[in-house]
A and B are shown apart, each in its own frame.
Chain A
Amino acid sequence: MLRYANPKRFLDLSATLLPFLWVLAIALLGWGLYEAIFVVPPDYQQGDSVRIMYVHVPSAWMGSFIYGFMFIASVVGLVWKHPLADAAAKEAAPIGACFTAACLITGSLWGKPMWGTYWIWDARLTSMLVLLFLYLGYIGIWSAIEDRAKAARAAAILCVVGVINIPIIRFSVEWWDTLHQGPSVVRFENGKLSPSIDPSMLWPLLAAGLGCTFLFFALLFVRMRTEIARRRIRTLMSARAAA
């Protein structure tokens, strides 16, 4: 993996992978959302409002997944000072912030008809809001500190410290009494992991989640390629200014 931390190798590899990532992202997300609107049956308790799940749950998954990805990239950046690790974390943050914001807003819109309120300060909702603030803080550090090495270090430290929020999000519905339901897509029962929703609902949900994952990597690769190009522009400008 670390072999690809070389920008040239990363550019070659990402150029090969990008078309596949785009096709998989569009196909899976498109199919998942089509099923969500036109095919999936209404839930026996929640009625048609369950369709919100197909944008809410993948957004929630991505919000946490992307932060986990940023954590790994930040650790690699802090410990091994790989040139692409900081760029990976930096470019992942706006995508993660968008998914987290989507999760919070769609959750709020789902909460009103089901719970009778758009918002409540329960552990799951609050920890998810904290995740959004962590993303915004991370992006803010990169914007506020001009020295890129210092910005990378400060942002990475925030990211590493903030990762404590990820298990809190995951287990909040088990550790505290929350209005938010417990884990309900798959459950660990009798020593094995089994789905707890009907396959007609599960597959479109997994497709949408997987589509979002491929979309994330497609966007990340494009953004990292852009960041490498920006670094080259800065180098060329400095060389011209010095000449």
Chain B
Amino acid sequence: MLDYLAFAPYGWFIWPSFAVFALLVGGVTVQTLVAARRTKRQLARLDQKTP
């Protein structure tokens, strides 16, 4: 299996490509969800304080 996943001689190009895709697309996903959660909490706190 490891031999297959090495994708020789192109493994050095294939795996970094998937990693970059995961990093960029995963990164914007995580950033979006974290910001949404933070903003939701902030709004809930403000709503509570506002009479």
Contact = CB atoms under 8 A, between A and B. Distances in A.
Contacts of A49: 7, 10, 13-14
Contacts of A113: 9-10, 13
A232 B18 CA distance: 39
Interface string A86-107: 0000000011001101100110
Given A106-B21, A230-B39, A52 B46 contact: no
B2 interface: no
B50 A219 contact: no
Nearest to A223: B32
Contact of B43 (A33, A94, A229): A229
Interface in B1-38: 5, 7-11, 13-14, 16-18, 20-21, 24-25, 27-29, 31-33, 35-36
A219 B9 CA distance: 36
Nearest to B14: A51
B10 A215 contact: no
Interface residues of A, number: 37
A48 interface: yes
A110 interface: yes
A109 B13 contact: yes
A17 interface: no
Given A48-B10, A222-B33, A237-B46, A55 B17 contact: yes
Interface of B: 5, 7-11, 13-14, 16-18, 20-21, 24-25, 27-29, 31-33, 35-36, 39-40, 42-43, 46-47, 50
23 contacts: A37-B18, A48-B7, A48-B8, A49-B10, A49-B14, A51-B7, A55-B18, A95-B28, A98-B25, A98-B27, A99-B25, A102-B21, A102-B24, A105-B17, A112-B13, A222-B36, A226-B36, A226-B40, A229-B39, A233-B46, A236-B46, A237-B46, A239-B50
Given A48-B7, A106-B21, A236-B43, 6 more contacts: A37-B5, A48-B14, A49-B10, A52-B13, A215-B25, A239-B50
